[in-house]
Structure 1
């Protein structure tokens, strides 16, 4: 028979009825009790075999931790939801237990307060004083639990809650803890690798190691509370041999925040461990050292942290620069140092605009006396304008000379310019090519004319004797004249045109 709101139950020898459903989880559902405003009933689901929890709950009833409710300002704060009585159905079968009614709505997960940004978004405290108080209260609750040889085992911030108004810790789901019974232990098999001790990363956690596991996980949570949520096994690896995941670093004991530097790991640059007092750093070194037997107990953490959590001790002081910050006496404010470092990193990472290049002054760079005056700047602008005009004039003159050098010889008389690539330049080239053809032809015609004239003037009888001699003289003179004309055309004329 499945129980629901309105079902009849028996609490010890008293009959009662299940009220409204508050919440339902994997193992069971929690209901209000109409006849008891300070208690609720947890009823196990049938699929989880409720009778298997009978011995565990009875062992919890026999060994209660000494954690009385705290009353402040007329309000009651339940620190641990420990079973009060066994609940049975009308047939007398075990179905669950009653426990103190805990105002879950006034609590928050401890995970939310570790990161400052997340804490601010949720309206939670961000100062060191509140976090030290939370660490001290958590240690005190675990010390009371350990005194009865009960252990949380799967201890981590997401499984822990605290009251926002008083900062007291509220432990829920206690029936999942490792419980010490009469000659028998009811273990807790669930663990989280990021909070599991090094010796249990490679082998199974047994009942004999549950207290040392709780001590290790407590030290990790306290370290995160006091150091901006940084995990003690995070940091910067100094070698490629360092694993990248937290469980593997725990297994190989890569703790980078000890009093002695780790040879393969360096701390996170925003860590506040250097500003933590020596006695607390020594506790951390013992907790994360090689000898698990040296780990501080929850009671030892509670005593050490309580002295810092009490305002009257003066061991925590308000920051003079930011009233929202607190820091350890005689130590710098780690929150301010961290904020400055983050701001500097953001400024360095932001790309800066490149300055526009300025024209170089004629007299060189500015001296050490500062910027030039307005008059000097105006004069410099005028000089630069004059320089620009001079450069333009020089360029025009150069272009004019080039044009004159390229002007054809036949255009000189008329004074017409011969620009590069113009029709007159092309015409000059054509004329010179024509002359190269016409001159030889003209000398040939001249030679033919002279020969004809010579034959007409001399009688035929006398010409025969002188014919060979005259021909030789005539051809020599014609050849010399031809060579002179070619030299005039090829050498003298180009020079004359170039010099004009």
Structure 2
């Protein structure tokens, strides 16, 4: 028997198939004429606080600082109405909310991060698409910060993208925000997307806009380097590879110190980046420098998308690169054993 959820006002929705899950909850399709889904969170650390959080987010949909963020086209899977499962005893009921179904207009962000997924789902994607996606993500994050929201757990799993590079965001219920005098702290963090100052910090340590800016830089690197994580690589000193976070803490990043990590020859060449963006990455990942903000990223990427800044390879029309590079970096990569943007999307990876 399928689940049924009910709002405080008595409206019921039948849930269909489970379409996603995360560290806190499960997402289900909703039997409704509108493109909706429902997120249920079975065991929040503090159920009363979670219900209050959702109620406040629903209320904030009508506040001036949020209205602009929610204007069409839809970019945020904002909670529309709190719900509870309708069956079982009061103690067994699960809280959650109904939100827009991002699948209606987007694809999972991860489809841009691997060659096989790009070719299957976004066959027209090029490096220009990666730049436009970086710009859209930076602009959206900058708008959220300007209105007092901190994402806190920015990662591919809660992001969406379309073929033009437009970006959407989900998991709004984990954000950090204030409502009146009450602070609703960020609750989550994900290895590989956690700023160094938060790695190893006690549970409950709140995020801030600077920690979001670190995750933005990681995502921008993955977009512009065909999925490569900026802290990927085996320690060049002969030590064991432990994790992205271990490399973050020890500053093992090719863009900060080329001698710090060992990477396969087939990864995209580091000099495919225009100087302006390479410098932002160094500032984002070097522990001693001021991290660029989302607004700075938006400004820099806008400049790289200006007319005359991009060039199409004469050999492969899917190979787009900055005019600062005299020859095609993707052809160089292909000669080393891989091609992130092959010219025939139907070809086997």
Choose which of 179, 182, 196 in structure 2 pairs with 1:181: 179
Residue aligned with 2:201, SS: coil
With the length of structure 1 as denominator, give the TM-score of the two structures: 0.56
Using CA pairs under 8 Å that are at least 6 residues apart, name the structure with larger relative contact order, 1 or 2: 2
Q: 1:31 to 1:236 in 2, by over 3 A?
A: closer
Q: 1:78-97 maps to which residues of 2 (within 5 A)?
A: 78-86=74-82, 96-97=96-97
Q: Distance in 2 between matches of 1:19 and 1:231?
A: 40
Runs of 5+ unmatched residues, structure 2? 340-349
**Kept in 2: contact 1:59–1:182 (CA 8 A):** no
TM superposition shift of 1:136: 1.0
Partner of 2:119: 120
Choose which of 329, 333, 346 in structure 2 pairs with 1:334: 329
**Kept in 1: contact 2:7–2:82 (CA 8 A):** no
Higher-Rg structure is 1
**Kept in 2: contact 1:197–1:217 (CA 8 A):** yes
Q: Distance in 2 between matches of 1:121 and 1:200?
A: 36
TM superposition shift of 1:205: 6.3
Q: Distance in 1 between matches of 2:221 and 2:108?
A: 17
Aligned length: 323
Q: Distance in 1 between matches of 2:110 and 2:187?
A: 22
1:204-245 superposed Cα distances (whole Å, 9 cap, x missing partner)? 365554322211111011011111222212235432247453
Partner of 1:321: 315
**Kept in 2: contact 1:50–1:96 (CA 8 A):** no
RMSD: 3.5
Partner of 1:352: none
Partner of 1:276: 273
**Kept in 1: contact 2:6–2:84 (CA 8 A):** no
1:92-124 superposed Cα distances (whole Å, 9 cap, x missing partner)? x9954443x334155322223212233224444
TM superposition shift of 1:342: 1.6
Q: Distance in 2 between matches of 1:123 and 1:88?
A: 37
1:38-68 superposed Cα distances (whole Å, 9 cap, x missing partner)? 5747364665575432321233233527324
1:158-194 superposed Cα distances (whole Å, 9 cap, x missing partner)? 3322124x33212122112223333333223322222
Q: 1:378-417 maps to which residues of 2 (within 5 A)?
A: none
**Kept in 1: contact 2:313–2:328 (CA 8 A):** yes
Choose which of 50, 55, 62 in structure 2 pairs with 1:53: 50
Partner of 2:254: 256
From the two aligned structures, give the one with the greater helix fraction: 1
